[in-house]
Structure formats: C-alpha cells, structure tokens
C-alpha cells in the first residue's frame, strides 16, 4: 500500500497530515458516523489510500467532491494538492450539517484550504469543476445528473465503484451518453474507478 504514496511522490509532512486525518476520523466517527464503523480500523487503506489513488488521474484547478462525509476523497485531495504547493480549489459538498462541521474543523486542523458547501447537491450553484468526484454516494445514473450540473464542459468525473459497476454502467447508459475509461482499483480487488467525460442526457 505504501507504494501508492511513493508513486505519488508524497512528502513526509504530507503523510503526517494524512495520518492526522486518520486520527481525526477515529475521534469524530463515534459521534457522527462519518464512515461505516466496521471500516474505521482499516481507514488508512479503505479510505485514505483509496482516495489518494484518484489524485493524479487528471489535472485540475477546481475539484468538486460530492457527499464528502468524512472527507473522502475531498480532504485527501486537498492535503495532496497542498503538499504539491498547488493553489487549486477543492470544494466539498455535504448537506449533513454535522459532517460539514467536521470537514471545516478537520481542514483547519490539517492546515489546508477547502470550500465547504453545506447544502444539497441540487441546490449548489453550478461549480464548473475540472474534476468531480463522489464516493459511495448514489447509483451511477444519479451521479451523471450531478456531473452534468457541476462539471466544466471539458471536465472529468471520477467515481469509484464496487463489483456491481457493470450493471450500474448499463443502467446509466439508458439515460446518458458518456466517454468511459474503466481503471482497476489499486487498493481493493474487484473494485474499479470509472473515469467519465462528455456526459450528456439522452
């Protein structure tokens, strides 16, 4: 697993910030249920590395993460971007006010800049994001609708999915056209990362 971060050329300081995020998750999760409790002990691989693998898929100036919850992948992306000295903007959309509070407090503690939108995805003004991500949020057909609203015209949507991804793609193609690149997860066998462009309703 450490090979993934080595491949990203991540500094020791950045790794320490990611470790701090892991600790914050363990501290806050009993009260807010940011992620499934069964995954907290494996948070480094299940959430942090799983998020980090998305960082270099495409360049970005604006990254929008929908349904950010515990900050995956959004906060991880913000930490990695800050570690590169990037001034890119990371927007975290989270309607649950308690989770949005966690995201703000975690970002402050980690020393990274994020924009937290504590409202429903459908209510947020279009974000014109270069990259849009969502992890364990909704079926792909619904995610396509969010992407159509919040992606810039040449933007890229990145959706990690589990073993049922092919059925989700088939269902989404009934209502949407899109260019699709399927990449195997570097963290979880059988899972994939769907990289999508040119998402248009039909």
Q: Name the binding residues.
A: 67, 72, 121-122, 135
Please, what is the end-to-end C-alpha distance for the chain in angstroms?
40
CB atoms within 10 A of CB 132: 29
CB atoms within 10 A of CB 101: 15
CA distance 49 to 60: 20
Using DSSP, state whether 26 is helix, strand or coil: helix
Annotated binding residues for S-adenosyl-L-methionine:
67, 72, 121-122, 135
Name the nearest CA neighbour of 1 among 34, 41, 50.
Answer: 50
CA distance 18 to 147: 27
């Amino acid at each position: 697993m450490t090979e993934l971060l080595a491949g990203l050329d991540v500094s020791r300081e950045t790794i320490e910030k990611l470790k701090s995020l892991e600790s914050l998750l363990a501290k806050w999760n009993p009260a807010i249920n940011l992620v499934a409790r069964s995954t907290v002990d494996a948070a480094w691989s299940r959430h942090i590395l799983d998020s980090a693998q998305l960082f270099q898929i495409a360049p970005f100036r604006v990254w929008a993460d929908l349904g950010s919850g515990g900050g995956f992948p959004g906060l991880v992306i913000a930490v990695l971007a800050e570690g590169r000295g990037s001034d890119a903007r990371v927007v975290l959309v989270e309607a649950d006010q308690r989770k949005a509070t966690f995201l703000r407090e975690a970002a402050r503690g980690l020393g990274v800049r994020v924009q937290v939108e504590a409202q429903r995805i459908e209510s947020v003004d279009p974000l014109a994001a270069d990259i849009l991500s969502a992890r364990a949020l909704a079926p792909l057909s619904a995610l396509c609708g969010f992407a159509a609203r919040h992606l810039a015209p040449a933007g890229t949507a990145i959706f990690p999915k589990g073993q049922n991804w092919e059925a989700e793609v088939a269902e989404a193609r009934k209502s949407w056209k899109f260019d699709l690149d399927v990449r195997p997860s570097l963290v979880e066998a059988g899972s994939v990362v769907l990289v999508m462009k040119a998402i248009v309703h039909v």
